[in-house]
């Protein structure tokens, strides 16, 4: 019986000694979002989201607008500096509705490493755009969302609708 104790103890010690630290796989280099956004993009689809309805779990929350007007004629070019920072942009709308105020100017982001919003600016005119899922960039797509807010009497903002513009990389 006494020996059994020692055997168990020995097994536990051996078991513990046999453990080795798992090597974590390298997660690879950080995603270069700005570099991935650089280049020419063609508008591929436009989807309107009723954020007010979505928030209240109403049944009708999206409408596809792509074929309503020649949205696919819109082309966006995003340029960057040599050190991969946002610089200038241009948009050629063609016959597409002009869904942004600006056609050219400078673009900036809130965070160069993990941008969530981009600002298009020319003079005092600006367009605020939300950058969509980074995963789409790996598939050659760029989602830009223009959000619309209702502003209350005390200045409180409520998101009521979004227009999602899905671009695809132009070759």
Among the candidate windows 27-35, 79-87, 106-114, 142-150, which touches another protein by CB under 8 A?
Answer: 142-150
Could you give the 3-state DSSP secondary structure of residue 164?
strand
- Binding marks (x or -) toward another protein, 37..66, rule CB under 8 A? -----------x-xxxxxxxxxxx--x-x-
72 scored as a contact of another protein (CB under 8 A): no
- Least distance between another protein and beta carbon 64 (Å): 9
73 scored as a contact of another protein (CB under 8 A): no
- Least distance between another protein and beta carbon 124 (Å): 16
Give the H/E segment covering residue 125.
Answer: strand 125-131
Hey, which residues between 88 and 117 contact another protein (CB under 8 A)?
A: 97
Task: Choose between 6 and 60: whose C-beta lies nearer to another protein.
Answer: 60
Give the Cα separation of 66 and 44 in Å (integer). 8
Give the Cα separation of 116 and 124 in Å (integer). 22
35: closest CA among 156, 160, 142, 121? Answer: 142
Q: Which two tokens stand for residue 153?
A: 């009497």
40: closest CA among 159, 163, 162, 142? Answer: 142
150 scored as a contact of another protein (CB under 8 A): yes
Hey, which residues between 12 and 31 contact another protein (CB under 8 A)?
A: none
Could you give the 3-state DSSP secondary structure of residue 127?
strand
Q: What is the binding site for another protein (CB under 8 A)?
A: 48, 50-60, 63, 65, 68-69, 97, 148-152, 156-158, 160-161, 163
């Amino acid at each position: 019986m006494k020996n059994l104790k020692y055997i168990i103890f020995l097994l536990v010690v051996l078991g513990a000694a046999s453990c080795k630290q798992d090597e974590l796989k390298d997660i690879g280099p950080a995603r270069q979002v700005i570099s991935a956004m650089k280049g020419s993009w063609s508008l591929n689809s436009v989807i309107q989201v009723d954020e007010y309805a979505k928030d209240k779990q109403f049944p009708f929350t999206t409408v596809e607008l792509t074929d309503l007007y020649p949205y696919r004629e819109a082309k966006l070019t995003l340029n960057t500096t040599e050190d991969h920072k946002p610089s200038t942009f241009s948009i050629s709308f063609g016959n597409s509705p002009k869904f942004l105020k600006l056609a050219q100017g400078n673009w900036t982001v809130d965070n160069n490493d993990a941008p969530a919003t981009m600002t298009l600016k020319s003079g005092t005119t600006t367009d605020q755009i939300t950058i969509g899922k980074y995963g789409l960039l790996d598939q050659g797509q760029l989602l830009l969302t223009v959000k619309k807010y209702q502003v209350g009497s005390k200045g409180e903002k409520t998101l009521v609708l979004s227009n999602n513009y899905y671009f695809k990389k132009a070759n």
